[in-house]
Amino acid sequence: MYLAQTASTLVIDRAILLQRFILENMSNIKPGTSIQSLPRVEKLEFADNVNYLLTACSQNVEFFSKDTSEYGKKFVESFRSLEDNLPTIQDLVYEVQNKVADYDYENVKGNGLRSLIRIAEVVVARTKTIAAEIAESRNSYFFRKESYYKKLNAYTQAVQSTLTLFEYAKHLISWSEPGKLIPSPTKEHLVSALMRQVGKPINQYCFYGRCLGIQFCDSIAMIFKTLLILMASFSEMYYSDGKLLDPVLKSGKYLYNPELRAKRVVNISQYGSVNFCKSFWLLGEIEIMARVHSMLNTLPICKVISIEPVPIVVPKTGCESETVTVSPPTAHKGLAPLEVRLLSCSKRFGMTGDEHEDVGVKMPSDELVIHCHGGGFIAQSSRSHETYLRQWATEIDAPIFSIDYSLAPECPYPRALEECFFGYCWALQNFDKLGTTGNRIVLAGDSAGGNLVLGITMKCIEYHVRLPDGIFVAYVPTVLRFVATPARLLCLLDPLLPFGFLLGCVKAYCCSREEFEKSLIHEEKLKIDVGTPADSVITSSTTPSDSVPPPPASTVQEEMGVQDEVPAQEAMEVQEEVPAQEGGAEAVVQPGPKPEEDPVLMTIKQKDPGVFQRMVSSLTSALANVGKPSVSDRDRLMQEMKEETFKICPDDMLEFDIVSDPWLSPLMADDDILGQLPPVSILTTEFDPFLDDCVELAKKLKRLGNVPTLDVLMGLSHGFLNFSQVSKEAAEGSSLCATRIKELLRSDASRAEEL
């Protein structure tokens, strides 16, 4: 165990060094910096792009047919594959486009089908650009066949995968009632049923390699390139069988080889556990937060409050003489204190605990924002969400009360919901400690936190506790049953929330311990993959034979360009993938100071030992249990990986279901409950896997007489709030969130002014 603890500390040290290097590159990114000089797709007609691309393909086929070299033949086959697939995808896009407006909420143009059309537009436009570059450069003496072929091949795969996405979408349209994005939550409409009916697996590798993040604005795409390089590198350390030095030295390869990075990330999505996700996301509370906090405005009030687990008595709504006793949470771990964080841009009476302090102290605010953070129910905290909470505190100028609920899988449902409701009730009885009169309260949450916010409000209705005056939710999952929707198909190309991560989070929070532990059995394959040449793991063709015409390649290694060694030419191309400072590669692999001498680690341990301890504990557990599989097990696992190359995850991972519980899936709640919700404001993005959840929630609330606002932001991702300090577009989105919260807080005043 001592060796495991030492090793886990060293893993954190190495990961932080790599993260620090990557963050230094990120600091050079200016908002609006273009990754590739491509006109915005809105300015281009989809049909014109398809026709142009078909013409370019024909001309390139004619040219490369005269080239008898290996790459000449590959160019011909790739362009012919595009010629085969483009007319089909154009027909499918038009078929869906004719129906897409029926699924919108009022005049807000946003739903999962529109997002898939947008993906098709972007993929075709980017492929057109590459085909044009090849046509322009092919006669040049300096034309690099291998480099251009890798680019072309990646986008040829992307076109083919997009076609498959639309075939999935057609099935989903047939499953649902006209105008509805989410089918009835039955076993016949789960993701596993969709995969079986369509019968065509999708090639995800292209969307995590050279096509990574093409659907997002430039600043978000660059962030995701950075994060996935870090994720792939961190996974080498996490699954290293205790041999830390070799994976640390080799982790720089993911900077230079996008195909190898894609292979590793897809494998992590297929086989990685929630424990890996927790460990990786905890890095965000160490180095990233240490740096981001230094860039944030200092708040006079940012403190943690510990709430003791004792019953709380609150007034019963509708009857002032009666009270309701709310018991402290007990599920899964018994009685325990609940920590919350109070943030404010102004000192107000009661916040500091010093009744005699009055210099610069303001009167209590009439407003209060109660916040639940996101993180898939398994990770993050109010601290890691300070990136935008500080901005909100400043722009709203009201105290923010953020709840640090217990996380799955250690504390699955209903612990988090119980704690959030308990924290809400405590706030109702302790306004004087929070610097507020509590006249106006808004509940706010993003992602998993948004789900909990809706749950808190429904608990208030059930217990007859005072309701909040408004609800703000961002990219919220409202149906946690694994029902397929058009927007959830976006998980197949989402860098932050790939399909396997979503699956793991849902199982960790919603399923029994036995069901959750079944999902861990495939993790051994990631240990096999470490140090194993790519071509020895995957040797099948890039697309199953029953799929649409495949782009040519004899092996996945050939197709994806995967190799463990980084050739000089590949190193020359790194600038096209991730901007690196001179000497950057050496910065990744140079041995760093010992953990006890690292000033960043010392600061973390001193200022927030809890975060560091959680990281060490998680990695210690992982490293203590590693073991090199036997030769027979290794052969078996490698064979399984070959067979699962194009599966989103092993088949047995999809064989589960979640009960239809309104506390888990608020959209499924009875109309008489949802009809009592206060005013609601919903914000999401066009590429959010939960976009359809948000749209259907807005539709249902409107039908019940509660007309919500719905904002669908373009070019941003699920979880964009966490990037508000490094992306101009994300910062603007965060500011819009603050505006919507202010509108909810001050809606009565606005109505009074109108009168």
What digits encode the pLDDT tens for the residues 142-170? 999 999 999 999 999 999 999 999 999 99
For residue 695, tell me if it sits in a domain. yes
540-558: burial string, b at 16+ Cβ within 10 Å, e else: ebbbeeebbbbbbbeebbb
Question: Is there a contact between 682 and 473 (Cβ–Cβ < 8 Å)?
Answer: yes
The C-alpha atoms of residue 513 and residue 635 are separated, in whole angstroms, by: 30
pLDDT band at 581 (very low <50, low <70, confident <90, very high): very low
pLDDT in tens, 584-641: 333 333 333 333 333 333 333 444 445 445 544 555 455 444 455 555 677 777 887 8
pLDDT in tens, 557-571: 444 444 444 454 554
DSSP H helical ranges for 176-217: 191-198
Residue 421 CA, chain-centre distance (Å), reads 26
pTM for this model (two decimals): 0.84
For residue 99, tell me if it sits in a domain. no
Tell me the percentage of the chain whose pLDDT exceeds 90: 61
The C-alpha atoms of residue 703 and residue 26 are separated, in whole angstroms, by: 45
Question: Is there a contact between 368 and 401 (Cβ–Cβ < 8 Å)?
Answer: yes
The C-alpha atoms of residue 216 and residue 236 are separated, in whole angstroms, by: 27
DSSP H helical ranges for 464-540: 499-510, 513-518, 524-529, 534-537
Beta-sheet pairing, 301-307 with 338-344: antiparallel
> Which residues on adjacent β-strands are paired with residue 709?
681
Query: Looking at residue 448, what DSSP letter applies?
Result: H
> Which residues on adjacent β-strands are paired with residue 403?
340, 372
Mean pLDDT of the chain: 82
Query: Looking at residue 300, what DSSP letter applies?
Result: S
First-to-final CA distance of the chain:
70
pLDDT band at 231 (very low <50, low <70, confident <90, very high): very high
The C-alpha atoms of residue 487 and residue 513 are separated, in whole angstroms, by: 28
Could you tell me which residue, 67 or 651, shows the higher pLDDT?
A: 67
pLDDT at res. 616: 47
pLDDT in tens, 76-125: 999 999 999 999 999 999 999 999 999 999 999 999 999 999 999 999 99
The C-alpha atoms of residue 55 and residue 375 are separated, in whole angstroms, by: 46
Task: Tell whether the model's pLDDT for residue 218 goes beyond 90.
Answer: yes
Token couple for 413: 């449902």
pLDDT in tens, 476-503: 999 998 889 999 999 999 999 999 999 9
Residue 197 CA, chain-centre distance (Å), reads 27
The C-alpha atoms of residue 722 and residue 730 are separated, in whole angstroms, by: 8
Q: Report the candidate in 401, 420, 412 with the shortest Cα–Cα distance to residue 377.
A: 412
DSSP string, 518-550: HTTGGGHHHHHHTT--HHHH--S-SS-TTSSPP
pLDDT in tens, 181-217: 999 877 667 787 888 888 788 899 999 999 999 999 9
Token couple for 361: 């102290």
Could you tell me which residue, 191 or 741, shows the higher pLDDT?
A: 741
Query: Looking at residue 279, what DSSP letter applies?
Result: H
3-state SS, residue 709: strand
Of 501-515, 528-542, 700-714, the poorest mean pLDDT is in 528-542
Domain CATH code at residue 708:
3.40.50.1820
pLDDT in tens, 7-51: 455 455 555 555 555 445 444 434 333 333 333 333 348 999 999
The H or E element that residue 402 is part of is strand 400-404
pLDDT at res. 629: 58
pLDDT at res. 603: 37
Q: Report the candidate in 715, 580, 575 with the shortest Cα–Cα distance to residue 26.
A: 580
Helices 415-428, 448-463: crossing angle, 10 deg rounding = 60
Task: Tell whether the model's pLDDT for residue 574 goes beyond 70.
Answer: no
Task: Tell whether the model's pLDDT for residue 539 goes beyond 60.
Answer: no
Question: Is there a contact between 64 and 72 (Cβ–Cβ < 8 Å)?
Answer: yes
The C-alpha atoms of residue 656 and residue 637 are separated, in whole angstroms, by: 23
For residue 545, tell me if it sits in a domain. no
Torsion on CA atoms 17, 19, 21, 26, rounded to nearest 10? -160
For residue 30, tell me if it sits in a domain. no
Token couple for 549: 């015409």
The C-alpha atoms of residue 383 and residue 380 are separated, in whole angstroms, by: 8
Question: Is there a contact between 217 and 717 (Cβ–Cβ < 8 Å)?
Answer: no
pLDDT at res. 319: 83
What's phi and psi for 123, nearest 5 deg?
-60, -45
Residues 6+ apart with CB under 8 A from 279: 234, 238, 615, 618, 619, 622
For residue 96, tell me if it sits in a domain. no
Query: How many domains is the chain partitioned into structurally?
Result: 1
For residue 114, tell me if it sits in a domain. no
pLDDT at res. 703: 98
Question: Quick one: the chain helix, strand, coil %, rounded to 5?
Answer: 55, 10, 35
Beta-sheet pairing, 365-372 with 400-404: parallel
Token couple for 649: 């995850």
Task: Tell whether the model's pLDDT for residue 541 goes beyond 60.
Answer: no
For residue 443, tell me if it sits in a domain. yes
pLDDT at res. 333: 94
For residue 149, tell me if it sits in a domain. no
The C-alpha atoms of residue 577 and residue 558 are separated, in whole angstroms, by: 20
pLDDT at res. 543: 47
Token couple for 214: 């093409």
The C-alpha atoms of residue 230 and residue 538 are separated, in whole angstroms, by: 23
Question: Is there a contact between 508 and 411 (Cβ–Cβ < 8 Å)?
Answer: no
Residue 282 CA, chain-centre distance (Å), reads 14
Q: Which residues are known catalytic residues? A: 447
pLDDT band at 240 (very low <50, low <70, confident <90, very high): confident
572-605: burial string, b at 16+ Cβ within 10 Å, e else: ebbeebbbbeeebbebbeeebeebeebebbeebb
> Does the CA dihedral 619-624-625-627 come out positive or negative?
positive
The C-alpha atoms of residue 547 and residue 164 are separated, in whole angstroms, by: 8
The C-alpha atoms of residue 91 and residue 141 are separated, in whole angstroms, by: 39
pLDDT at res. 645: 81
Structural domain of 313 = 297-482+659-754
Q: Report the candidate in 322, 338, 339, 340 with the shortest Cα–Cα distance to residue 330.
A: 338
Q: Report the candidate in 372, 279, 239 with the shortest Cα–Cα distance to residue 614.
A: 279
Question: Is there a contact between 123 and 157 (Cβ–Cβ < 8 Å)?
Answer: no
pLDDT at res. 2: 44
